[in-house]
Amino acid sequence: MIAETGHYALILALGVAIVQTVLPLWGTRRHDPQLMVIAVPAAQMQLLLIAISFSALMTAYVTSDFSVENVWRNSAVAKPLIYKIAGVWGNHEGSMVLWVLILALFGAAVATFGSNLPKELQANVLAVQGSIAAAFLLFIVTTSNPFVRLDPAPFDGQGLNPVLQDPALAFHPPFLYTGYVGFSMAFSFAIAALIDGRIDAAWARWVRPWTLAAWMCLTLGIAMGSWWAYYELGWGGFWFWDPVENASFMPWLAGTALLHSALVMEKRDALKVWTVLLAIITFSLSLMGTFLVRSGVLTSVHAFAVDPARGIFILAIMGVFIGGALTLFALRAPRLAQGGLFAPISREGSLVLNNLLLTTAWAAVFVGTLYPLALESITGEKISVGPPFFNFTFGPLIVPLLIAVPFGPMLAWKRGDIVAAAQRLMAAGILALIATVAVLASQQRGPWLAPFGIGLGIWLIGGALSEVAFRVKLFDGSWPEAARRLAYLPRAAYGSMLAHAGLGIVVIGIVATTAWRSESILALKPKETADIAGYQLTFEGVVPREGPNYRERVGLFKVTRDGQQVTELEPSKREFTVERSATTDAGIHASWRGDLYAVLGDQLKDGAYSVRLYFNPLVRLIWLGAVVIFIAGGLSLSDRRLRVGAPKRARAPNQNLTAAK
Amino acid sequence: MTRKQRRAVLIGTCLGVLALAVALVLVALHDSIVFFYTPSDVAEKHLNSSQRFRLGGLVEDGSLKRGEGTTVSFVVTDKRATLPVTYTGVLPDLFREGQGVVAEGSLETDGVFHADSVLAKHDENYMPPEVAKKLKELGVWRGEAQAGAPQGTGKVN
């Protein structure tokens, strides 16, 4: 009964989504406010219905109702509760329901808190949101119904793919989807503006918080995915330039560009057409990400859908939305008034440079990701484009951007003074230089570029600190005066500084672990010792163990450093009984210097085991930096100036929230 | 600066960066892509020893041998031709005889494919799509059910 309710709610939601699309659009054409306002309750209703559907699926999972085929395929009685819950989105059908749920959440948020939006804009935005929801709901209902019943119901399910049974991965999809789907807000606003043929600074003020929220969730989602790949796949790397990773990275790059161009538009009323185009591109890349990972075009852990009909359906959705949006853009963009002149050396100029480099960077990633697919479909030749391609193309495009980052905030709007900016950044520059020289002197091995990479990271962090110092006039006035200014600095300013510093932390982590990692693969017999990066690992042997839904063979390693016991590592190989599949669980010892990482391999001829050992210096900084960026986004989002929707209204959306309670 | 000059600077920078990007992409596409071959392709193509490629096929039953230390050797087959492979390192969890495998490396003068990475994919019925496709082309495909596993673990390498 619960499953049927869920299914029914989903179909009703489809109906509501169609109403939400058609009537408000018609209303704005005819300037009929009564038709326009239908969008608001429709969006709220849609959230309610999809939430009912999602809860129904969740209930089926938690209660292990194997009469639902989806549950039977992806769950099992013995699976821990958290993975029963995560199992809801650990498969194609359920993940699509999560997708539309998040979409409905965003839509309902605009409906509920967007009362200070111009009525026509709100109606158009909700109509576009409704059309996206309708397309995806139709997709779910016709090709990916999660509520299909099995009769008779089996006693136990087939379980979830063991590599997905992991805490970081349990929350990776919701964050990633919030990012992907959140960009639909920017898209809907862009389309609404194009339909209206009008766009102004208030538009950017409205779009920015949504983009920011989506972007910070995407950042965290990508970081979680990378963190998971790092310790679960037992390969010791944090990023593989796998097409699936690229699929999430491209919207991130475009979204980062969008955040910055929306800033120009909000503050200076310039770059309007470009911002609209970028909003369309960002969401298009999100759709493409969904298509790539969900269609089975790429083989990966995400390729749930082997049914070609689904791939074609998503391709059709993509075609309609991207093609339609770009056509509308081509027709209407010339009508949008341009404004806001600026000199090349100015805050705007620096943000244009940011956009230019980010856009070309994602284009390079785009080519590398799609070229093999295109080549195969045209010539039938199979190739793979691996990390060398991306390192070679992405690196030279992103490094100039990273060097330029600290300059941007130091330049004034309209016309900046590059010499003055350089003077303000003198301290950061010297600091970066010292760091480079120090690393050059202390590290004999590794590529010669690496110390400059560390310097670049320090430069970014130093640049962010210099910006604080400059803004509070640290060296011009008295200390209490500076402290007072510090307290009154807007949170958005803190947010951008912290985000840039977080970027610096990520850069240091990536450079250090790529340049100076040690790796050794050896055959170890019990009681033998291996040396890596100053640690001595003594192999104590292998013992069997039982987990909740798996059996494992655990390798025991005693780790010492300079004769002192440091820790014990227990890398294991897990056999999942229900799923009849195996995973590798790395043993990791984390410290500030870096991670000691051990993987247990197969048993060899003479009682030895193959063992893979890594030392990844400073690798934690990558994820620490991502968390810093996430926090920075939150800080910025909590800024009062961002919360204020339209300029002339005194009431902020957040106050509406409190009032609604 | 006049409006015209500003525009010229903007367009100039854009074109410059674009040209750089295009050049980088073209050079990288020329140098760093890796082709995918089956043992039959290798037999036909007379590849020179420095060329890196991906070898795909099935691990021949009974061919896995452990050598010194962590070195292993096995034979990859596409049911028409075979190619011996040697690899030093830890084999992935899902590496089994009789199942699909993709190895990346180069063919050396000793006629052995020296792999530096080995990817095996999930599930006893699962086969990497590259392999499945080639096997289909060669007419040794044994039905859709073989690729029916819903979830392949992509990055298990």
Contacts of A161 in chain B (CB under 8 A): 122, 151, 153
Q: Is there a contact between B28 and A388 if contact means CB atoms under 8 Å apart?
A: yes
Among residues 397-456 of chain A, which lie with CB inside 8 Å of chain B? Answer: 397
Which helix (H) or strand (E) segment holds residue A131: the answer is: helix A119-143
Q: What is the pLDDT of residue A295?
A: 66
**Strand locations in A366-429 (E):** 383-385
pLDDT band, residue A146 (cuts 50/70/90): very high
Structural tokens at position A304: 């749930």
pLDDT score of A73 more than 70: yes
| B33: contact with A, CB 8 A cutoff | yes
Task: For residue A105, give Cα distances in angstroms to A44, A50, A109, A178, A182.
Answer: 8, 9, 6, 10, 10
Q: Is there a contact between A392 and B17 if contact means CB atoms under 8 Å apart?
A: no
For A444-463, write each residue's pLDDT tens digit.
Answer: 777 888 999 999 999 999 99
Q: What is the pLDDT of residue B136?
A: 63
CA separation for the pair A524, A629 (Å, rounded): 41
Handedness of CA A180, A184, A190, A195 (dihedral sign): positive
For A27-64, write each residue's pLDDT tens digit.
Answer: 999 999 999 999 999 999 999 999 999 999 999 999 99
Contacts of A300 in chain B (CB under 8 A): 152-155
CA separation for the pair A491, A471 (Å, rounded): 13
CA distance A230 to chain B (A): 11
Q: Is there a contact between B28 and A229 if contact means CB atoms under 8 Å apart?
A: no
| Three-state secondary structure string covering A567-607 | EEECCEEEEECCCCEEEEECEEEECCCEEEEEEEEEECCCC
Helix (H, G, I), strand (E, B) or coil at A157: coil
Q: What is the pLDDT of residue A476?
A: 74
CA separation for the pair A229, A227 (Å, rounded): 6
Question: For the residues A185-199, what does the mean pLDDT come to?
Answer: 91
| A302: contact with B, CB 8 A cutoff | yes
Question: For the residues A408-432, what does the mean pLDDT come to?
Answer: 90
For A359-390, write each residue's pLDDT tens digit.
Answer: 999 999 999 988 888 887 788 777 888 888 99
Structural tokens at position B33: 């892509």
| A360: contact with B, CB 8 A cutoff | yes
Q: Is there a contact between B24 and A364 if contact means CB atoms under 8 Å apart?
A: yes
Q: What is the pLDDT of residue A307?
A: 63
Q: What is the pLDDT of residue A645?
A: 45
Q: What is the pLDDT of residue A655?
A: 40
CA separation for the pair A391, A393 (Å, rounded): 6
CA distance B26 to chain A (A): 9
| A31: contact with B, CB 8 A cutoff | no
Among residues 108-127 of chain B, which lie with CB inside 8 Å of chain A? Answer: 121-124
Contacts of B93 in chain A (CB under 8 A): 573, 581-584
Q: What is the pLDDT of residue A563?
A: 85
Task: Show the low-confidence residues of chain B (pLDDT under 70).
Answer: 1, 120-157
| Residue % of chain B over a pLDDT of 70 | 75
| B155: contact with A, CB 8 A cutoff | yes
Q: Choose the weakest-confidence range: A260-264, A338-342, A348-352.
A: A338-342
* Structural domains of chain A, with CATH: 405-517 (no CATH), 518-618 (2.60.98)
User: How is residue A426 annotated by DSSP?
Assistant: H
Q: Is there a contact between A299 and B121 if contact means CB atoms under 8 Å apart?
A: yes
Task: For residue A206, give Cα distances in angstroms to A76, A328, B56.
Answer: 45, 21, 51
CA distance B127 to chain A (A): 10
Q: Is there a contact between B155 and A604 if contact means CB atoms under 8 Å apart?
A: no
| A480: contact with B, CB 8 A cutoff | no
CA-nearest residue of chain A to B117? A235
Measured between CB atoms, which of A341, A367, A522 is closest to B69? A522
| Three-state secondary structure string covering A481-519 | HHHHHHHHCCHHHHHHHHHHHHHHHHHHHHHHHHHHCEE
Q: What is the pLDDT of residue A445?
A: 79
pLDDT score of A657 more than 60: no
Contacts of B25 in chain A (CB under 8 A): 364, 367-368, 393
Contacts of B10 in chain A (CB under 8 A): 344, 352
CA-nearest residue of chain B to A600? B90
Structural tokens at position A287: 């759709």
User: b/e map of A168-186 (b: 16 or more CB within 10 Å)?
Assistant: bbbbbbbbbbbbbbbbbbb
For B91-128, write each residue's pLDDT tens digit.
Answer: 877 787 877 788 888 888 888 899 988 876 543 344 55
Q: Is there a contact between A301 and B157 if contact means CB atoms under 8 Å apart?
A: no
CA separation for the pair A366, A249 (Å, rounded): 10
Helix (H, G, I), strand (E, B) or coil at B66: strand
Measured between CB atoms, which of B9, B24, B128 is closest to A344? B9
pLDDT band, residue A276 (cuts 50/70/90): very high
Q: How many Cα atoms sit within 13 Å of A205 on the Cβ side?
A: 22
Q: What is the pLDDT of residue A80?
A: 87
CB A417, CB A410: distance < 8 Å: no
Q: What is the pLDDT of residue A299?
A: 52
Mean of pLDDT over chain A? 87
Pick among A274, A384, A418 to test the B interface (most B CBs inside 10 A): A384
